[in-house]
Amino acid sequence: MGVLIVVATVALVVLVIQRMNRAAQGVDTALTTTNLALRQPVGSRVGGIAALEGQLAIWVERPDGGRVLLVDPRNLRQTGEIRLGE
């Protein structure tokens, strides 16, 4: 019975280490392949970012008024824009 407990513990530790390595590899590739140019005018700044139904909503404060840019993070493309009070 003692041998079974030791074997099960070792298997559990190996499984946890393998899953942590896979998760770390996924984070590294996501960080190195994620480049998004918002192409906003000089003087613009990001006021906030929120997740919205599989997209990112990025609040941009521009010299000519605020905007919310809708971005699809999977293909790194802007899918929409909402202008706030001009």
pLDDT tens profile 12-24: 877 777 776 665 5
Edge to edge, the sheet with strand 55-62 lists 45-52, 55-62, 65-72, 77-84
Q: Which helix (H) or strand (E) holds 56?
A: strand 55-62
Q: How large is the C-alpha radius of gyration of the chain?
A: 22
* Domain ranges, ordered by start, for the chain: 1-34, 37-86
| Angle value at C-alpha 71, between 69 and 75, nearest 5 degrees | 155
37: confidence class by pLDDT, cuts 50, 70, 90:
confident
The model's pTM is: 0.56
Amino acid code (one letter) for 78: Q
Query: Taking 50 as the threshold, does the pLDDT of residue 32 lie above it?
Result: no
